[in-house]
Structure 1
Amino acid sequence: MNVAAPQDGPWLDDAAGRLIRPYTVSDGRTRPTTEFDLLTLVMATGAALPVHLGPEHVAALGLCDDPTSVAEIAGHLRLPAVVTKVVLSDLVDCGAVHTHAPILQHTPTDRDLLEAVLDGLRRQL
């Protein structure tokens, strides 16, 4: 078995993927205590992390030196968004991170933005 390097995240295998179920990370919890959407920005406060939090919490905190979206953190952790939100809400609850709404430069219905996204998707296909 070829186990991935530690920087690839805990309990990952090149062939099998994650070796533990994602909801094990959140102790089976599916509802965060803090409201997040995928664009919510999260940033570390510099407060010490409680000892009882797991490696995913440490990894998530390490991604928050600069404002980072919930979606980006979920991607880096290779966890479903809802599990990532639970992990991040634990970090908010202990004061290790704070959140704020993203600063949108476009309105959600901005035609230029939607066309740029569509063009980007077409290039990927």
Structure 2
Amino acid sequence: MRQHRGGRREMVPAYAATTRAEPTRNSLDALTIIRSLGSPPAGLTPAQHRLLTVLEGGALTLVDASRLLRLPLGVVRIVVSELVDQDLILARAPIPQAQGPDTDTLRRVLDGLRQAARDEAGLPR
């Protein structure tokens, strides 16, 4: 926010936190994991500096960084892409969830375990 004449504060639009209108890379999604590669150098925008300061505590997802900085996700994408271009942040795609076994395999394993329990208990098939 900027101080306005008469003591009122004028809101600064979120897009003013960046130096460009679009991210330089399109591979940044909400769950991209980002981490800082060092301390903030001089000459950064306030949003870039705040992001690097937040990342001193460890890696975050883009959505978490957006929440902590109180900036829209689209703005954070642009800020992150600028810092990645300057080799100040490392961005890594989210780790995909492992694909579980199919239900047919699980059913056959469960049936086998039930049969083994029956055999152990001496119950008829």
Which bracket does the TM-score occupy, shorter chain normalised? 0.5 to 0.7
Q: 1:89 to 1:104 in 2, by over 3 A?
A: same
Q: How many angstroms apart in 1 are the aligned matches of 2:69 and 2:29? A: 17
1:1-125 maps to which residues of 2 (within 5 A)?
11=1, 19-27=11-19, 29-34=20-25, 35-46=27-38, 48-49=40-41, 51-65=42-56, 66-105=58-97
2:40–2:49 contact (8 Å) kept in structure 1: no
Structure with higher helix content: 2
User: Structure 1 residue runs of 4+, over 6 Å off?
Assistant: none
Shift of 1:18: 8.0
Percent of aligned positions that are identical: 27
CA contact (8 A) 1:44 1:64 kept: yes
Checking the alignment, whether the CA contact within 8 Å between 1:45 and 1:97 is kept in structure 2 is yes
TM-score, normalised to structure 1, is 0.63
Paired residues of 1:39 and 1:102 also in contact (CA < 8 A): yes
Q: Unmatched 5+ residue regions in structure 1? A: 1-10, 108-125
The count of aligned residue pairs is: 93
Larger Rg: 2
Query: What is the SS of the residue equivalent to 2:52?
Result: helix
CA distance in 1, matches of 2:94, 2:66: 16
Structure 2 residue runs without a partner (length 5+)? 3-7, 100-125
